[in-house]
């Protein structure tokens, strides 16, 4: 069984640190990652060509899009692919945080999920890909077990 891939597409290189956090968390869950820069506004033909390449790739995949300000990228990608798309916009104080709405409101027939935390976006990708890959599913279950144990240990530490 081939290893699934998480394709992380950022709208500009300024989003790289946010994307590296996603990639790191995804790799910890046993996923292969591929990072690319492409803008729905500035390089739409390039983005479409890139997506076509990945759509021809037989591996299972999830796309994670990272774009701030006016996030056209997530809807653009979702409308062009059949695999799941997760929008993970970078944090921003600009516009009083209202730029998040460009990730939330989508036209009919366009449905990217929105997850704000990079590690949680990677976790959602792993849960989706774990539906058809037992190794990834095992990694997700192990991650969840470790999270539960940490909470239990923290509670026990308070009881001493």
Note the pLDDT of residue 1.
61
Q: What is the pLDDT of residue 156?
A: 93
3-state secondary structure 16-68: HHHHHHHHHHHHHCCCEEEEEECCCCCCHHHHHHHHHHHHHCCCCEEEEEECC
pLDDT tens, position by position, for the chain (160 residues)?
688 999 999 999 999 999 999 999 999 999 999 999 999 999 999 999 999 999 999 999 999 999 988 899 999 999 999 999 999 999 877 777 777 787 888 999 999 999 999 999 999 999 999 999 999 999 999 999 999 999 999 999 998 7
Domain 5-159 carries which CATH code? 3.40.50.1970
Q: Residue 121 corresponds to which tokens in the numbers above?
A: 């976006």
- In the chain, what are the domain boundaries? 5-159
Q: How far apart are CA 145 and CA 129, in angstroms?
A: 18
Structure tokens at 59: 């591996």
């Amino acid at each position: 069984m081939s290893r699934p891939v998480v394709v992380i597409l950022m709208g500009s290189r300024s989003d790289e640190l946010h994307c590296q956090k996603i990639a790191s968390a995804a790799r910890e869950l046993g996923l292969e990652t591929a990072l690319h820069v492409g803008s729905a506004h500035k390089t739409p033909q390039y983005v479409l060509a890139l997506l076509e390449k990945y759509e021809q790739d037989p591996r299972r995949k999830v796309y994670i899009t990272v774009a701030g300000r006016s996030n056209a990228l997530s809807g653009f990608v979702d409308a062009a692919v059949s695999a799941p798309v997760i929008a993970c916009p970078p944090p921003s104080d600009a516009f009083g945080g209202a730029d998040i709405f460009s990730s939330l409101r989508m036209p009919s027939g366009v449905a990217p999920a929105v997850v704000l935390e990079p590690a949680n976006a990677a976790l959602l990708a792993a849960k989706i890909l774990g539906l058809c890959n037992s190794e990834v599913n095992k990694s997700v279950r192990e991650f969840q077990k470790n999270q539960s144990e940490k909470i239990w240990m923290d509670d026990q530490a308070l009881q001493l």
